Amino acid sequence: MKLAFVQDWFNANGGAEKVAGAILDIYEKDDVTIYALFDRFSPVARNEILHGRPVKVSILQHVPFINKLYRYFLPFMPWLMKRFNLRGYDLIVSTSHAVAKGFRNDPSILNICYCHTPLRPIWDQYDDYAAGHWLGRTFIYKWYVGYLRRWDIASSKRVHYFIANSAHIQKRIQSSYGRE
């Protein structure tokens, strides 16, 4: 079975990365192609989580200090994720708390998303993020959040099955995407 595995990014050895590693451990190394916007894993984390597997990355990989600046690139992430063409796979699995489900694919390919949470800055924590951002209450910010919400809902429709790790996240998925 030929599997495409998509992660938002790899820059820390945290919970999302550990979930990615557990999923990847299920599959044979040669059957999986991994995609992420950028990969700044340490050698220890790379070995522990990815077991030496290569990662296909976007142009964000070449941005200096991206592991500290990536939040500022959120406006471009949907466009960058759509650059990944995942046609020709038997199965697509993504783990996401941001944009990993936003790739292009053949709708006939089974697409499963382990959703850590819908994108917090545009959904359940919008007010907190807007209050803390210097553009937070401006027309530009509201327009941008509206654009991201429309994109996020559209990309959620390409997912066949969502997996949530709790009833709380299940409710967030239902509230944000109207999906079980």
Q: Which residue has the tokens 């007010």?
A: 127
- Residue span of the structural domain in which 46 resides: 3-177
- The Cβ of residue 35 has, within 10 Å, a number of other Cβ atoms equal to 22
- Grouping H, G, I as helix, E, B as strand and the rest as coil, residue 161 is strand
Distance CA 124, CA 145 (A): 12
pLDDT for 15-46, tens place per residue?
999 999 999 999 988 899 999 999 999 888 88
Percent of the chain exceeding pLDDT 90 equals 71
Q: What is the CATH number of the domain that holds 156?
A: 3.40.50
As a whole number of angstroms, the distance between CA 161 and CA 15 comes to 21
In sequence order, the 6+-apart residues with CB closer than 8 A to the CB of 89 are: 2, 3, 4, 33, 105, 109
* Cα separations in angstroms, 136 against 50, 91, 95, 103, 152: 37, 39, 28, 28, 19
Range name among 17-21, 63-67, 120-124 with the lowest pLDDT average: 120-124
pLDDT score, position 156 = 96
The number of distinct structural domains making up the chain is: 1
